[in-house]
């Protein structure tokens, strides 16, 4: 009887451990309804990728438009003046930071570093020339269709 009680207790203790999922190194669980994990830092530092480069290099780890919308809708966004970017905090208190790295236009000029951020999604906008991005400045966060030749930042996800 004592052995059965000990085994039962061990099984009950193990249940919560089984329910926890393994989080890959470098990713953060923000407590989103979808369970999407967001990478803690940008790919290539503050480097820029065209849409085609981003899709080719990162494939299904590039967030969809819906994943950006979920991040926008379910997290608290706090502009960090000294660090120039947004601290994005999930319902569980964990966070990522999206730097305002600017963007690179189609002729190669880098613009608005420190005041603007642009991050690719994997979702085309329905044309063969543009795709959806999360764009922001200190007062606004929105999803916007950008020309695919633009260079934007990349933040990866893991489902």
Torsion of CA 37, 38, 44, 45, to 10 degrees: -140
Q: Does 94 reside within a domain?
A: yes
- The predicted structure's pLDDT at residue 3: 47
* Cα 159 from Cα 149, distance rounded (Å): 27
pLDDT tens, the chain, 159 aa long: 444 434 444 444 444 443 456 898 999 999 999 999 999 999 998 899 999 999 999 999 999 999 999 999 999 999 998 889 999 999 999 999 999 999 999 999 999 999 999 999 999 998 889 999 999 999 999 999 999 999 999 999 997
Q: Does 18 reside within a domain?
A: no
Q: Does 61 reside within a domain?
A: yes
Q: Does 101 reside within a domain?
A: yes
**The total number of structural domains that make up the chain:** 1
Q: Can you list the alpha helix ranges (DSSP code H) found in the chain?
A: 2-19, 51-58, 65-74
- The predicted structure's pLDDT at residue 15: 42
In 29-67, which positions are buried (b, 16+ CB within 10 angstroms) versus exposed (e)?
bbebeeebbbbeebbeeeebbbbeebbeebeebbbbbeb
Q: Does 123 reside within a domain?
A: yes
- The predicted structure's pLDDT at residue 46: 82
What's the DSSP call for residue 51? H
Q: Does 5 reside within a domain?
A: no
The answer to whether residues 147 and 129 touch, using CB atoms and an 8 Å cutoff, is yes
Identify the domain containing residue 79 by its residue range.
Answer: 26-158
- The predicted structure's pLDDT at residue 9: 40
- The predicted structure's pLDDT at residue 22: 86
Q: Does 4 reside within a domain?
A: no
Q: Among 95, 116, 94, 96, which Cα is nearest to 104's?
A: 116
Who contacts 53 (Cβ-Cβ below 8 Å, separation ≥6)? Answer: none
């Amino acid at each position: 009887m004592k052995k059965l009680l000990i085994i039962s207790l061990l099984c009950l203790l193990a249940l919560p451990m089984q329910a926890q999922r393994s989080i890959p190194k470098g990713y953060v669980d923000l407590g989103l309804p979808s369970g999407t994990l967001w990478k803690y830092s940008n790919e290539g530092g503050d480097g820029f990728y065209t849409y085609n480069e981003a899709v080719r290099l990162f494939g299904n780890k590039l967030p969809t438009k819906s994943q950006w919308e979920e991040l926008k809708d379910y997290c608290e966004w706090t502009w960090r003046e000294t660090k120039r970017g947004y601290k994005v905090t999930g319902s569980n208190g964990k966070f990522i930071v999206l730097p305002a790295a600017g963007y690179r236009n189609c002729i190669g000029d880098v613009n608005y570093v420190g005041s603007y951020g642009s991050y690719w999604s994997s979702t085309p906008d329905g044309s063969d020339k543009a795709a959806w991005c999360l764009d922001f400045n200190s007062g606004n966060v929105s999803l916007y269709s950008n020309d695919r030749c633009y260079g934007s930042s990349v933040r990866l996800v893991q489902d």
